[in-house]
Amino acid sequence: GLRQVRLLTNNPKKVDAFMIHGYGLEVVDQVPIIAPDEADRRKYLETKREKMGHLLPVLEGRELS
């Protein structure tokens, strides 16, 4: 059966949940979901990164303008 997964998420808490409650599944990789950096979503994504700890590579090293 399935023993290892590559988890597609920007949320590190989901990786932690798999570690604790993964039902025998090992997370071998966390693959970020990269969406286009659109100005109308920028504030929303910035909030997810800063307040909820989401890993958003498209925003790394950039600030709101």
pLDDT over 80 (residue 35): no
In a domain, 64, yes or no: no
Scan for tokens 């570690």, then name that residue: 19
10 within domain boundaries: yes
Virtual CA dihedral for 30, 10, 19, 26, nearest 10 degrees? -20
Q: Between 9 and 59, whose confidence is greater?
A: 9
Query: Which structural domain range is residue 34 located in?
Result: 4-59
CA 40 to chain centroid, in Å, comes to 20
Residue 33 resides in a domain:
yes
Q: State the total domains in the chain.
A: 1
- In this prediction, residues 35-55 reach a mean pLDDT of 83
Q: Label residue 60 by pLDDT band (50, 70, 90).
A: low
17 in a structural domain = yes
Using only C-alpha atoms, what is the Rg of the chain? 14
> And the tokens for 14?
């989901």
In a domain, 65, yes or no: no
Q: Indicate whether 29 belongs to any domain.
A: yes
Which tokens in the block code for residue 46? 């910035």
Q: Is 39 a domain residue?
A: yes
Q: Which of 49, 53, 55 is nearest to 31 (CA)?
A: 55
